[in-house]
């Protein structure tokens, strides 16, 4: 007579319903979970599977797989894999006890339902669309019940560089654009004329174009055409300076050995603008 293994109450066995709910395309990425027998009789027949369920490999794969299902419904771009473990949303997606409890509440699919199945019943693979619908409901319910809404709003408003993997992905490019924009809010935006009035820069002696250069560069077609004449590096310097970065910060970001090289390039840009303006008859 086979012996049914008695799992501790707080063991990973409580996550078995989540594992059996994983769609086949996702399950295939996790070798330990993919090998799991799909009937309770086969699972109980071998002490080996009791050891597997209590192993770190089972728990780690279960957390990664279920987190991948939960992450999209927090309302952040990209995949979970685009973010690091420093991201609050990445961490929330790993709240495995909440997902197990939520799925049981929403669908009635929990440990008791699992072990009530006939021993020889083959658990079918769940429909991917159905699984996504359940997880969407579970995550939205958790956000409301746990009061995560304000936290998520802050994370969206003030993202951190450490939250993102250093890959060239759309989600990281979107973050960088937002991060630069957020930074410019915290640093006083200055006009080109003010940039050139810094001590140590000889360009302040040049005649300044009329009006606020920042507004003109951003708003006028004339200045957009002028920007198109600049080299990629000069354009980067100009935009960072307009956003309020110091010469030292720009030098560090763009790989200059000292900030004097940045100042010289800004002087050249100012001269180019004045010449371009005069040639255009403005």
Partners of 83 in the β-ladder: 164
- 165 to each of 85, 87, 157, 168, how far by Cα in Å? 10, 10, 19, 9
Token readout for 108 is 């009635």
The reported pLDDT for the residue numbered 244 is 74
**Neighbour count for residue 83 (Cβ, 10 Å):** 25
For residue 125, what are the CA distances in angstroms to 32, 59, 252? Answer: 16, 20, 53
Locate the domains of the chain by residue range.
Answer: 12-168, 187-280
Question: Quick one: pLDDT at residue 76?
Answer: 92
> Phi/psi zone of residue 33: left (φ > 0), alpha (ψ -120 to 50 degrees), beta?
alpha
User: pLDDT at position 186, please?
Assistant: 43
Task: Give how far Cα 128 sits from Cα of 47, 69, 133, 222, 223, Å.
Answer: 31, 10, 9, 53, 51
Rounded to an integer, what is the distance from CA 216 to the centroid of its chain?
Answer: 34
Tens of pLDDT along the chain (282 residues) come to: 344 445 555 688 999 999 999 999 999 999 999 999 999 999 888 888 888 998 999 999 999 999 999 999 999 988 999 999 999 999 999 999 999 999 999 999 999 999 999 999 999 999 999 999 999 999 999 999 999 999 999 888 888 889 999 888 888 888 887 776 555 444 444 444 454 444 444 434 434 444 444 444 444 455 667 778 888 888 888 888 877 788 888 888 888 888 888 888 888 888 887 777 677 654
């Amino acid at each position: 007579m086979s012996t049914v293994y008695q799992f501790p109450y707080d063991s990973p066995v409580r996550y078995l319903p989540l594992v059996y709910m994983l769609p086949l395309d996702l399950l295939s990425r996790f070798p330990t979970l993919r090998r799991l027998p799909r009937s309770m009789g086969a699972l109980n027949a071998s002490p080996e599977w009791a050891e597997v369920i209590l192993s770190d490999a089972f728990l780690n794969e279960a957390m990664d797989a279920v987190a991948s299902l939960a992450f999209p419904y927090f309302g952040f771009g990209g995949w979970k894999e685009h973010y690091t473990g420093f991201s609050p949303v990445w961490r929330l997606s790993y709240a495995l006890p909440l997902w197990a409890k939520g799925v049981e509440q929403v669908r009635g699919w929990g440990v008791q339902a699992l072990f009530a199945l006939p021993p020889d019943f083959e658990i079918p693979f769940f429909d991917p669309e159905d699984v996504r619908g359940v997880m969407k409901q579970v995550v939205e319910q958790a956000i409301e019940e746990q009061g995560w809404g304000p936290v998520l709003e802050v994370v969206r408003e003030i993202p951190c560089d450490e939250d993102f993997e250093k890959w060239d992905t759309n989600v990281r490019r979107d973050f960088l654009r937002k991060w630069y924009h957020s930074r410019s809010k915290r640093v006083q935006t200055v006009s080109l004329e003010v940039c050139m009035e810094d001590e140590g820069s000889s360009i302040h002696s040049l005649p300044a174009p009329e009006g606020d250069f920042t507004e003109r560069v951003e708003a006028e077609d004339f200045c957009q055409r002028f920007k198109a004449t600049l080299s990629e590096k000069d354009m980067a310097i100009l935009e960072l300076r307009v956003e309020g970065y110091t010469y030292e910060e720009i030098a560090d970001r763009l790989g200059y050995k000292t900030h004097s090289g940045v100042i010289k390039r800004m002087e050249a840009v100012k001269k180019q603008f004045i010449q371009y303006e005069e040639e255009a008859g403005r």
